Amino acid sequence: MDTITAISTPLGAGAIGIVRLSGEQALSIALRFFGSSKIKSKEDVVPNHLGLGTFSDGSVREKCMMVYFRAPKSYTGEDMVEFHIHGGTYLAGRVLESLLGAGAVLAAPGEFTRRAFLAGKLSLDEAEGVRAMISAESEAELREAYSLMSGRFDQKIDRLLTLLTEVLSTMEASLDYPEEMADEVDDSLQKALLVQKEMTELLSSYRAGKLIKGGVTVAIVGKTNVGKSSLLNRLLGYSRAIVSDVHGTTRDVVGESIVYKGIKINLQDTAGLRQTGDEVENIGIERSLDAAKGADVVLYVAEAGQTPDEDELANIRAFSKKVLLVNNKIDVFGVTQEGINISAKTGEGVDVLLDEVLRVTALDHRAQETLTEERHADCIRRALRSLEEGISAFKAVNAECVLVDLRESIDALSEIGGGSATDRIVDDVFSRFCVGK
Amino acid sequence: MRYEAIVVGAGHAGVEAALALARLGHNTLIVTLDVKSVSHMACNPNVGGTGKGHLVREVDALGGQMGLNADASLLQIKMLNKNKGAAVQSLRGQTDKDVYHQKMLQTLLNQSNLTLLEGECEDVLVEDGKVKGVVVSGESYLSDVVVLCTGVYLSSRTITGEEIHDAGPYGFENSKNLSAALVKKGLPLRRFKTGTPARVYADSIDYSVMEREDGDYDINCFSFLTEGKLLEQTPCYLTYTNLETHRIIKENIHRAPLYNGTIHGVGPRYCPSIEDKIMRFADKERHQVFIEPEVKDGELMYVQGMSSSLPKDVQEKMYRTIKGLENVRFARYAYAIEYDCIDPLALTPALAVKAVDGLFSAGQFNGSSGYEEAAAQGLMAGINAARKLENKPPVVLRRDEAYIGVLIDDLVTKGTNEPYRMMTARAEYRLSLRQDNADQRLTPLGREIGLVDDYRWERFSERNKKKESIRAAFKRSVPLASVREIFEKKGEAVSGGMTVEEMLKRASITAADVLPLLPEEERDPDLAEEVAVEVKYCGYLNKEKRHAADALKMEEKVLPADMDYLSMENLRLEARQKLNAVRPLTLGQASRISGVSPADIAVLITYLVKTNK
């Protein structure tokens, strides 16, 4: 069985995110990213022991805890690893992506439970959890906002399935009807290559798609007392953050979500940036920068009529591609040439700002097929992997071997919408070819 | 009159069921409408074909009769896909229909514990939901189990244009009363359709303008017990339809029962009539027509590819447009046949009818098509009826064990909307389920069941032992000089010595190439070929094994028989209904039902945990 992984804590809530792995490769995949002074190799890992270390993969470097449960003494009865990561969806998502990239596959809804059940281990509580997960998945309102996109996505998957079915049915028909198929043209490889190209493109839309599904994360940063919290409050329509005239009132990141034009926007107010001796406040400032790093869009708020701190702005632009310069307090200081002019106090310009946020992020993807569900992305990832194996074997081995890979591919793709790949192939054989005597 | 078991019908399913029951020691009665129709090949004069050849081998490996009977009546044998990989190679044999019938009839008559009765089965006796026997031509015959193998005879009618006959295939009598009786017992019957081409006089054909199709002389026959190769073979001939043929059909399409509404039954897509092919594939300029002998040196030929239900005058006109058939004379015209059969979703994987305890069914009655599909089900229904008598659990072959497993699982889990034909495309573990290893897969099971006699078992063990020693020899390393010699012939370079296995992993090296490297007494070219296949497929076989191991975990979770699916509110409505109709035995079977999603399976799991089942 594949080694599976998933974020086990509810998205967006809680101080700690847990990402789990289960399967034969769980520990070896985990140790490709996790290390500590005590843990250099598999032998150093003590089962059932929560240990502190660093998860590092490219740009991600995060202190976190890891615990290893050795088979069969685990929830699923298989080797399992859990990462306990500091709160927020963002980091858990990055960890998940790393694990998927290293060969783990995304757990299907209820799959940890299914494995636990098949291994003869399961408590009722956990089984109930499965049901909740399933009901959440089918929640209509969740889909509604994205209906336009998902409609296009379904069409795209249909197209890929149709193409791939044609590849398989041509090859299968030649095996089942060797005499009648002798004079049919076989363009399977060309079609397979086309599917590969389209799948690759679809996968690359995933990042953009995820923005839309999970919402757009917007960090509000800037010097102290430029009105960041006032902006947040204006956006929220009520007084969420403490607003005062004292510099450095916000000492932590304050997060809240709004829905604007059907898209969820996760707002993060941060501590103002300034040199200070206050240790607590310094930690807050550090977190502001972290929040900015993790955000999809950064609003750099400055006072209207003042030249923004170019160094600071450049510093933020270095780690975020989408930085909007926001000139606040135009009711007092008047408008500025560069940037978006608003007044948090009167609300002037705030709509323009939000439109701009949507424009620079995901909405340009609305017209295209966009991948939003991690489960779908995982199906396509697996379908692509098998398809590529099949394509590379095309010339080297017999058709029935290539078909083992292509079957894996179409089975993975079929998981998105359900339905039997075999039935589809058999139907296609008889609708496209005149076979049978 | 009292028997332990009664089999209704003596076609390809019925004879296997009856022989299995009798051979397992049960006093068995087999009923046929007409002794002349025992194992009658009502359609094509051949056994095997892609996927079907596998079924014949499997039936044989389990101790069934079809392979031996086909071998005894072979006119030609061919390995389909000979130039492709071993897993998709299938045997197809042309057989002498008269000899096939005679040999099987003889086998039935010589079988102890078996009585053959001619008469019409009119009813199945049921008391308190349990089968008690049958009524044949007005008389009751009692038994504890009954196997229905009625083929295409239930309330059948044959159709040739405007001519409709209340009859069975090939002019045999049909069964008039049983259908209605079965419906009364609660069996869900429906109507299927199939067809057959004309039989024409051999001396009215000009073979000189057709392409001659010969068999293969270097291959084994169907049965693992048949020794030697088929040295004397009869050719078939290939010709084609043309635009003139197509024009005649199109002009007369309003007289085709398929197109004017006379036929309501659902026909098989893989066995289309010629009018179907012309109408659906208008672009094709010609279609293949094979001329095949019905019997050895006989007067009739079978015109494969020209199945039709058009009127006789149109048939004559269109056949005579074909090259070589210009002066053809008809002995029997092509016809379509409609018949009643059961919705196989009403059956368990043991081929037991859910509604009536002790009632089993097999063959075309179960919605399949083809002699081989029928024989395979007949054998399994016979085995499971016998085990019912013995209070033993049924034998259900898994999809990774046999094509028979795929066939029966597809029928009883997914159902079918047309007569079901076996195809290699349906077998997800195709590389493992080869015709060459059918004995390895199934003969030990056949032995356990009790159908593999000492002779077959000894032959099997011997073959297996030889294969084992070839496997061992393949692992030995070969001196560099010998390796080099073999590779040089292929124009390939080698850097060092290697084992035979390593050599075989190269695409260019065949079993024949390495044969001289084996010790003299192990140089069996057939067995070496079979072992070489295992080596060549190795990587892909391992992939299949991993998938099969995953699937097995789901197969091992048994679903309680008393599950109340309809009241399980967390299941989607469609899933509730489908699960209730199929009543799957395992979670694995449940997951293959169309309309049951992975989420539904998760709900089922939750339910099982909650109720501690």
* Structural domains of chain B, count: 4
Query: What DSSP state is assigned to residue B566?
Result: G
State the distance between the two ends of chain B, measured CA to CA, in whole angstroms: 44
Inter-chain touch B602–A114, beta carbons under 8 Å: yes
Q: How far is A169 from chain B (nearest CA, A)?
A: 9
A238 has a pLDDT exceeding 50: no
Chain B residue with CA closest to A422: the answer is B426
Same domain for A243 and A360, yes or no, is yes
pLDDT on residue A277: 66
Q: Specify the long-range contacts of residues B523-530, CB closer than 8 Å, at least 24 apart.
A: B524/B466, B524/B470, B526/B220, B527/B463, B527/B466, B527/B467, B527/B470, B528/B470, B529/B86, B529/B436, B530/B86, B530/B436, B530/B437, B530/B467
Cα B463 to Cα B432, B470, B524: the distances in Å are 18, 11, 10
pLDDT on residue A207: 58
Same domain for B38 and B156, yes or no, is yes
Question: What is the tens place of the pLDDT at every residue in A82-112?
Answer: 998 876 666 777 788 888 888 888 777 667 7
A124 has a pLDDT exceeding 70: no
To the nearest 10°, report the CA torsion of A211, A214, A215, A216.
-40
3-state secondary structure (DSSP) of residue A213: helix
Same domain for B183 and B54, yes or no, is yes
Same domain for A160 and A286, yes or no, is no
A351 has a pLDDT exceeding 90: no
**Which of A108, A123, A138 lies at the terminal end of a domain, its last residue?**
A138
pLDDT on residue B578: 92
> A136 touching B, CB under 8 A?
no
Same domain for B346 and B304, yes or no, is no
pLDDT band at A373 (very low <50, low <70, confident <90, very high): low
β-strands A323-328, A340-341 pairing: parallel
Same domain for B189 and B216, yes or no, is no
The answer as to whether B31 is a domain residue is yes
Same domain for A64 and A167, yes or no, is no
Same domain for B510 and B535, yes or no, is yes
Inter-chain touch B84–A178, beta carbons under 8 Å: yes
pLDDT on residue A336: 81
A131 has a pLDDT exceeding 70: no
pLDDT on residue B88: 92
A251 has a pLDDT exceeding 60: no
Question: What is the tens place of the pLDDT at every residue in B334-363?
Answer: 999 999 999 999 999 999 999 999 999 999
Same domain for B231 and B328, yes or no, is yes
Q: How far is B483 from chain A (nearest CA, A)?
A: 22
pLDDT on residue A280: 66
pLDDT on residue B450: 98
Q: How far apart are CA B368 and CA B99, in angstroms?
A: 25
Q: Residue A333: which domain range? A: 212-365
Q: Which residues contact B55 (CB under 8 A, 6 or more apart)?
A: B372, B373, B375, B376, B403, B404, B407, B422
Same domain for B520 and B441, yes or no, is no
**Which of A138, A153, A169 lies at the terminal end of a domain, its last residue?**
A138
The answer as to whether B245 is a domain residue is yes
And the tokens for B106? 């003889």
Q: How far apart are CA B56 and CA B350, in angstroms?
A: 19
pLDDT on residue A363: 45
- Show the 3-state SS of B17-67: HHHHHHHCCCCEEEEECCHHHCCCCCCCCEEECCCHHHHHHHHHHCCCCHH
Interval A231-235 mean pLDDT: 85
The answer as to whether B463 is a domain residue is no
And the tokens for B609? 């945990």
Q: Which of B328, B287, B14 is nearest to B150 (CA)?
A: B14
pLDDT on residue B613: 54
Higher per-residue confidence, A41 vs B184: B184
Interval A293-308 mean pLDDT: 86
pLDDT on residue B258: 81
Question: What is the tens place of the pLDDT at every residue in A211-229?
Answer: 555 667 888 888 888 888 8
State the CATH number of the domain containing residue A274.
Answer: 3.40.50.300
The answer as to whether A242 is a domain residue is yes
The answer as to whether B303 is a domain residue is yes
Same domain for A74 and A150, yes or no, is no
pLDDT band at A264 (very low <50, low <70, confident <90, very high): low
Give chain B positions within 8 Å (CB) of A423.
Answer: 414, 594
pLDDT lower than 50: segments of chain B: none
Inter-chain touch B603–A131, beta carbons under 8 Å: yes
Same domain for B479 and B360, yes or no, is no
Q: Is the pTM of this model over 0.95?
A: no
Contact yes or no for B378/B15 (Cβ under 8 A)? yes
C-beta neighbour count of A209 within 10 angstroms: 26
Top-confidence range, A93-107, A142-156, A253-267, A369-383: A93-107
Same domain for A200 and A221, yes or no, is no
DSSP string, A275-336: ----HHHHHHHHHHHHHHHH-SEEEEEEETTS---HHHHHHHHHH-S-EEEEEE-HHHH---
Q: How far apart are CA A399 and CA B87, in angstroms?
A: 10
**Which of B494, B525, B546 lies at the terminal end of a domain, its last residue?**
B546
Quote the percentage of chain A above a pLDDT of 70: 75
Residues 481-510 of B with CB under 8 A from A: 507
pLDDT on residue B129: 95
Give chain A positions within 8 Å (CB) of B609.
Answer: 117, 122-124, 127
State the CATH number of the domain containing residue A391.
Answer: 1.20.120.430
pLDDT on residue A91: 75
The answer as to whether A315 is a domain residue is yes
* Structural domains of chain A, count: 3
Give chain B positions within 8 Å (CB) of A128.
Answer: 606
Q: Which amino acid is at B361?
A: S
Q: How far is A396 from chain B (nearest CA, A)?
A: 8
pLDDT on residue A142: 35
Higher per-residue confidence, A330 vs B364: B364
Contact yes or no for A368/A150 (Cβ under 8 A)? no
Residues 224-283 of B with CB under 8 A from A: 268-272, 277, 280-281
Contact yes or no for A377/A279 (Cβ under 8 A)? no
**Which of A95, A111, A138 lies at the terminal end of a domain, its last residue?**
A138
Q: Residue B429: which domain range? A: 5-194+338-449
pLDDT on residue A436: 72
Same domain for A249 and A393, yes or no, is no
- Show the 3-state SS of B342-383: ECHHHECCCCEECCCECEEECHHHHCECCHHHHHHHHHHHHH
Same domain for B265 and B309, yes or no, is yes
Q: How far apart are CA A301 and CA B40, in angstroms?
A: 90
pLDDT on residue A130: 47
Is the ipTM beyond the 0.90 threshold?
no
Closest residue to A176, CB basis, from B424, B546, B550: B424
Question: What is the tens place of the pLDDT at every residue in A405-415?
Answer: 999 999 999 88
The answer as to whether A437 is a domain residue is no
β-strands B330-332, B130-136 pairing: unpaired
Same domain for A228 and A346, yes or no, is yes
pLDDT on residue A135: 41
